[in-house]
Amino acid sequence: MRLRATCFSSLGLALRGLLQAVWASPVVADQTSTRLNVVFILENDPGERNNLVTRHSDLVNELDALIDGFLKNTQAVVPVANKAFDPACYDPQQEGKPQPKKRSAPRSRAAKNS
């Protein structure tokens, strides 16, 4: 079975994931370093809505070991927590959606003429 592993950071959370056949097991470490494991059968649940982690805890341990081995063997750079991240402002429903551009205040005429 061919494995594909990825390590990336998103919205201030350290996130790592591994795909193995039809399984996805991302592990999220929040600002308190709490690990939140999730397991999905991608073939049946491509939207990753049905977390099967309680039914497959043995698989979580196996996938965790694969991820840890990959990170160690490749000497991968692992993202660190974003200290400016505010969990109260995080909305997972906004993940992947473009955010509106912030408009700067209009400049006064005096500033334009100088």
pLDDT mean by block of 10 residues, the chain; 114 residues: 40 46 51 64 79 81 78 79 79 81 74 60
**What is residue 112's predicted lDDT score, i.e. its pLDDT?**
60
Separation in Å, CA 9 to CA 26, 78, 84, 101, 111 = 12, 9, 14, 22, 40
Alpha-carbon span 44 to 4, nearest angstrom: 19
**What is residue 33's predicted lDDT score, i.e. its pLDDT?**
54
- Residue 49's CB: how many other CB atoms inside 10 A? 7
Taken in order of first residue, the domains within the chain and their CATH numbers are 3-77 (3.30.1120.10)
